[in-house]
Amino acid sequence: MIKWRDVVKFVNHGNPEPPRKVYKTDEDWKKVLSPVQYKITRKKGTEPPFSYLKNELKSGVYKCVCCGEPLFDKYAEFDSGSGWPSYTQPVAGNKIKYEKDTSHGMVRVEISCNVCGSHLGHVFPDGPEPSGLRFCVNSVSLRFEPLTNIQK
Ligand SMILES: [Zn+2]
């Protein structure tokens, strides 16, 4: 489980190796993404709060909208009240890249997809236990894939 001390370590000493790497030029990303997706994921945009519909499905996985890498499980999602989708953990320790972000007069930790570099949002140390983390993510940056073959 990733905790805040791990996030600080990644920011200061480097991130884990990603499971794979995807590289495309800006022009190529523009061809496969909508203008809003491009602005948020490739140009570090932020969607307005409360701009997404609550996902009522019970199980599935949120994938990177750019490269399709699975990033967050549905069960790690919680309602933080912030207006952005929030998660307590990524699906694995090497899926997310953590970097210091000093924009807008704040010191924050930016999170992006470790495979393709897509901007996701930020992570904060005020989430629920046991991880204590809140991964605050633009809904535009993720694509939900429901789990369809649930054994009864
Ligand atoms: Zn990605």
For the question of residue 116 being annotated catalytic, the response is: no
Q: What are the DSSP E strand ranges found in the chain?
A: 60-64, 70-73, 77-78, 86-87, 96-101, 108-113, 119-124, 134-137, 142-146
Looking at the predicted structure, is the pLDDT value of residue 31 above 50? yes
First to last CA, the chain: 29
Distance 46 CA to ligand 1 centre (A): 17
Catalytic residue among 64, 113, 116, 136: 136
Domain boundaries, the chain: 4-47+59-146
pLDDT digits (tens, 9 = 90+) for 70-108: 999 999 999 999 999 999 999 999 999 999 999 999 999
In angstroms, the Cα distances linking 55 to 11, 12, 41, 44, 59 are 31, 35, 21, 24, 10
3-class DSSP assignment, residue 144: strand
Looking at the predicted structure, is the pLDDT value of residue 152 above 80? no
What is 4-47+59-146's CATH superfamily? Peptide methionine sulfoxide reductase. (2.170.150.20)
Distance 52 CA to ligand 1 centre (A): 20
pLDDT at 149: 58
Any idea what DSSP says for residue 19?
Answer: S
